[in-house]
Structure 1
Amino acid sequence: MTSARTFVKGHGTGNDFLLYADPDGESPLSDSEVAAIADRHTGIGADGVIRAVRTAAEPDAADQVAEAEWFMDYRNADGSIAQMCGNGLRVYVAYLEREGLLELEDGATTTIATRAGTLTVHKELDEYAADMGLWSAPGGEAALAEGFDVTVALAGLDEPRPGLRIDMPNPHTVIALADLDLLEQVDLSVAPRLEPEPEDGMNVEVVVPLGEREVEVVDEDGAVVGTERVGVVKMRVHERGVGETLSCGTGACAAAVATRQWFGDGAPDDWVVLVPGGQLRVVMLDGGGVELSGPADLVGEITLLD
């Protein structure tokens, strides 16, 4: 079952994963096995487990065989299935490279199959930029205009706060707070309570918008060629099936999308999202797409014993 299986530990800004190769789809893990391996006290410990399987060998990817060779089978730490994971997607591509399952030169792009559809990942030196697909608001234009469509009770705060639901396509609810002291005050070891309550759970991002700043733009040779305006937001996250994590890729995208909506007309398309595990860059693309870029670090190899 899980004996003698080797995993690679990786993370993207502290959002950590255990990855293993199952090219022919012969060794999927059960929900309970994933939960046991991801347990931080009695297992190896991770926010999620990622299985590398060819699309041709995975029923969930049957409609993506012509577009991508590899499917990212992502499970949350409790064993539940997630559509995809932004930080995990970058780490997954780095893992495929390490294992010799994918060759990706600097500046090149690959396509990966996920439960959210096929997504492209572009390699940029030691970082990766992933096209995260289209975002949507379950509450529609009315929710976007109002700025919220649910109420969220957060442990550590004395009253519920309004939140805006954003699908990436993982479900997220973003709550804005007035200052960094309140952000630190929130206790995300306790699952936030939403009204109305979602049927399939919810990822919750608590954010403090920090305004805008000018950053330098450099060319391929490293020379500064100008500046651009970016928005900045600081974020903490409670992931469904996991708890508080140091980072969340789709959550960072949802936080940037929601904050941009709150800023209104003239808000920047580029965002820096500060998370406890580091920094991510989110760019709004034409047509409602979102690009997420950041590091992908592989830190060790672990073999399970009997």
Structure 2
Amino acid sequence: MPETIAFTKGHGTGNDFVVIADPEGDLDLSDEQVAALCDRRFGIGGDGILRVVRSANISEGAAALAEEPGAEWFMDYRNADGSKAEMCGNGIRVFAKYVLETGLATLPSGSTLPIGTRAGVRDLARSETGFQVDLGRWRVDPVETLVRARGLAVSRPGLRIDVGNPHIVVALQSAEELEGLDLTVVPHLDPVPPHGANIEFVVPRDPLVHDGVGAIRMRVFERGVGETLSCGTGVAAAALAVRHWAGAAAPDHWRVDVPGGTLGVRMFPTEEGEHVALSGPATLVFSGEVALAR
């Protein structure tokens, strides 16, 4: 008989995930099993898997506990093709919603919840829209990448930004260009980053800044997944890129519209350098049981 496991389906602005509780780290999902679970016709359907495991029970969790002993839980995030990913800004909010709703963790008012990821420990707090996650320090990679996508007449330069996982942000001229992209086809990168990258295509709102808050629109092609309705770390990377291009007078607060909704981005100074935070909703949709493919 196939092994049957419990799951919960959740999403953050349409970026959807299959959440599987495995506190003791007993479940070893193959790439093929992950892909089967995420299949939208023959499986549950999702942009990835969020395995909820104690940091002490997964090899990558040792680094998380060394960084923050209070990071009891580790987000083992897998893309829809089974590949491992460093971080997921929408996924970690769904992860937090799950561990809080199921009583695996608590988040008293005014405190933060540390969660281990392959990009390091990330702290979450409640926000007006759901949760805010501190994505930590970010950096610009000086290597320029040309991006060719179906729907664009010529290749466009992309800005590489790392927010714990790699992104390439491409500025477009108009909303019509953004809407005309065909992201069913994988964009071509030159040169190709060593570990691949998520690719964000952005256009400014009009006006770009209103009441001290910047506003942009975005679509994203996620490595290992394809186009998704939202990408949390990609939203942060897009806001950082547009602020970088806009110059010193650009704001530190941004509203980013994606096909699945709206997310907030905030840049703020810390002793170790500037951090970027992402805020937005997290929703648990339904729970059930599923037989794992052999």
Moved >6 Å (runs of 4+): none
Q: 1:300 aligns with which of 265, 277, 286?
A: 286
Question: Aligned partners of 2:116 and 2:276: how far apart in 1?
Answer: 17
Q: 1:156 aligns with which of 140, 151, 171?
A: 151
Question: Aligned partners of 1:75 and 1:201: how far apart in 2?
Answer: 15
Per-residue deviation, 1:202: 1.5
Q: 1:238 aligns with which of 218, 221, 227?
A: 221
**Residue by residue, what CA displacement relative to the aligned partner does 1:92-149 show, whole Å, maximum 9, x if unpaired?**
000001221011234431111110111100012550000001111121xxx6xxxxx1
Correspondence for 1:219:
none
Per-residue deviation, 1:164: 0.4
Amino acid in the other structure paired with 2:8: V
Correspondence for 2:10:
10
- Contact 1:22–1:28 (CA<8 Å) still a contact in 2? no
Correspondence for 1:204:
199
Question: Aligned partners of 1:185 and 1:55: how far apart in 2?
Answer: 43
Amino acid in the other structure paired with 1:84: M
Point out where structure 1 has 5 or more consecutive residues left out of the alignment. 144-148, 215-228
Mapped pair 1:268 → 2:251: yes
Question: Aligned partners of 2:166 and 2:265: how far apart in 1?
Answer: 17
- Identity over aligned residues, as a percent? 51
Question: Aligned partners of 1:23 and 1:152: how far apart in 2?
Answer: 41
Question: Aligned partners of 2:30 and 2:178: how far apart in 1?
Answer: 36
Correspondence for 2:57:
57
Q: 1:98 aligns with which of 93, 101, 106?
A: 101
SS, match of residue 26 in structure 1:
coil
Correspondence for 1:137:
140
Correspondence for 1:256:
239
Q: 2:210 aligns with which of 209, 213, 232?
A: 213
- Contact 2:63–2:120 (CA<8 Å) still a contact in 1? no
Correspondence for 2:182:
187
Mapped pair 1:121 → 2:124: yes
Amino acid in the other structure paired with 1:17: F
- Contact 1:6–1:20 (CA<8 Å) still a contact in 2? yes
Mapped pair 1:22 → 2:25: no
Point out where structure 2 has 5 or more consecutive residues left out of the alignment. none
**Larger deviation, residues 199-208 vs 69-78:** 199-208
Per-residue deviation, 1:67: 3.6
Amino acid in the other structure paired with 1:158: A
- Please, what is the CA RMSD of the aligned residues? 1.4
Question: Aligned partners of 2:179 and 2:129: how far apart in 1?
Answer: 31
Correspondence for 1:291:
277
- Contact 2:204–2:215 (CA<8 Å) still a contact in 1? yes
- Contact 2:141–2:159 (CA<8 Å) still a contact in 1? no
Q: When the two structures are superposed, what TM-score results if normalisation uses the length of structure 1?
A: 0.90
Correspondence for 1:226:
none
Amino acid in the other structure paired with 2:263: L
- Contact 1:6–1:302 (CA<8 Å) still a contact in 2? yes
Question: Aligned partners of 1:165 and 1:63: how far apart in 2?
Answer: 26
**Larger deviation, residues 238-247 vs 20-29:** 20-29
Q: When the two structures are superposed, what TM-score results if normalisation uses the length of structure 2?
A: 0.93
C-alpha spacing 1:160/1:120, structure 2 compared with 1 (3 Å):
same
Question: Aligned partners of 1:2 and 1:12: how far apart in 2?
Answer: 30
Per-residue deviation, 1:247: 0.1
Per-residue deviation, 1:288: 2.1
Per-residue deviation, 1:43: 1.1
When the two structures are aligned, how many residues end up with a matched partner?
284
Question: Aligned partners of 1:234 and 1:132: how far apart in 2?
Answer: 20
Correspondence for 1:48:
48
Q: 1:82 aligns with which of 67, 82, 85?
A: 85
Mapped pair 1:178 → 2:164: no
Question: Aligned partners of 1:46 and 1:138: how far apart in 2?
Answer: 30
C-alpha spacing 1:113/1:36, structure 2 compared with 1 (3 Å):
same
